[in-house]
Amino acid sequence: MIGSVIVKKIQKIYYILTYIFFIYPPFIFGLVEIYKEGNKMETHIVTLIVNIILILVLLLICGLLIYYKKLHVPSEREIKYLVFGFVGNIVVYFYTFQNDMNIYNIVNTYLVLLIVLVVHYFLISKKITVWELWILMPIFLFVDYLNIALTGCGFSNEFNCNPRTQFDLFLYFVYSILLITIIGYYSYKIYLYKYLDILKIANISLILIASFLIQDLFYVHDDILMTLAIVIPFLTIIDFIVGIVNKSYTHKVLLYYIRTYTLWFVFFFMSMELEFFKGGADNRTLIIMVVISYVSLGIVILKPLLKIDIYSDPILQNKNIKLLKCTEELLKQVRNKYSSEHAKKITLDDKTYTLVALDKDQVIGFISTTLIELEPPLDKVVEAHINIIEIKKEYYQYGVANGVAERLIKKTETYFKNTEATQIYGWSTNALIHLWNNLGYTFTLYTKLDDKTKPNIQEYGILKKL
């Protein structure tokens, strides 16, 4: 078991290196600051040299391991990831030393994230996935550069800059559109979570009330604001406790509160720092863009780490779509809605676990999996064999089919992890191949020979350790 874990980590070494390249510059910068005493060279030059040396050393080590057959030659995909890591290393380096190199009005958070998104798109994903960053970063980049062009001041040098004032009215209009966009977008994302229980309604209502009162449009006693500042987090903690005790908590609740509290910060900043509704918008508004950028980036990173269903927003949040364990009645629906051939692949015995997806009590998909004991010498392996997974064709629009399938698969995996099963195995056609890949399955390509010269791809074998 230990050996297989080590081998698995070695096989992923190139992906690990990719993201290590990203974080090199700031950490090397810290070490250089500690040890460069007496060195007359600029910190960013020393860091660049150390950074290049470390990358070359890593490449040399990998080359030696490949030569002695301790490490596999990187595949085309792994090479693309490494190139992605090198690009990330470069842009993070310039971002880290933007002040030392006096390029803070050119390099900023938004430009760095956009470069990373574009490189990732062309090298790896070939599709736009993190829409939040694709939407917000171009807007923030435009506003930042516009602000620099009109005032001569950016976020990094706002405290030692004397902005030109002839564009104040126009910039106030730009800042207003910016804040409306941020508040509108975050409110929309909060709405998509569709959490409407009493505690969340009370929480968001109090945040809205506090956000309004804090704008100082009329006199409000400080005790009222301080009371709200205590009651709001108290209700949030209660909501988490209730969700955990009732086993209704999901990590989406965490994202919900991250967004609501970020909005609270935006309104707080508009009042305390800007006095926005009194015409007090200025370069400090750029701080809100920086905060939103990091919060949005954090949410994008948290989603896969917390294994939050990326397909369920917003269509699968529809409470009409539910998963139920198959019964005789549901099996009849499968037979009527699909075919008797589909129904034949479903059994309701103790070794089989069958889930049915329903939308308004209509069967839209199902998965049936059976425990199988393999023959010697694999008799100690107990396999959960996926007999069939089927999603109604109408639900393939907008990726809903993948969302339903993901929920069926994940719930099936959770069930069999609590049994003696050690692996889950099945078959897939091209329709769901990317989904299986995203869920961590390995593949075997099978072909059907119509004749000796023209093989036709039929389907893929899929496998995952539980």
**pLDDT tens, 258-270?**
999 999 999 988 8
Q: What pLDDT does residue 155 have?
A: 67
* Per-residue pLDDT at 223 exceeds 70: yes
H or E stretch covering 261: helix 251-269
The pLDDT-based confidence of 292 (bands split at 50, 70, 90) is very high
Alpha-carbon Rg for the chain in angstroms: 27
- One-letter identity of residue 378: L
Q: What value does the mean pLDDT take over residues 48-63?
A: 92
Quick count: other Cβ atoms within 10 Å of Cβ 34?
8
Q: What pLDDT does residue 259 have?
A: 93
Q: What value does the mean pLDDT take over residues 163-187?
A: 86
Report residue 80 as tokens.
Answer: 């693309």
Quick count: other Cβ atoms within 10 Å of Cβ 115?
18
Q: Is residue 288 exposed (0-12), middle (13-18) or buried (19+ Cβ within 10 Å)?
A: buried
* Per-residue pLDDT at 2 exceeds 60: no
Report residue 403 as tokens.
Answer: 């969302």
* 105/152 Cα distance (integer angstroms): 9
- Domains in the chain, ordered, with CATH? 1-103 (no CATH), 121-308 (no CATH), 318-465 (3.40.630.30)
* Per-residue pLDDT at 106 exceeds 70: yes
Q: Residue 111, Cα to own-chain centre: how many angstroms? A: 19
Give residue for tokens 């693309």. Answer: 80
* 321/165 Cα distance (integer angstroms): 55
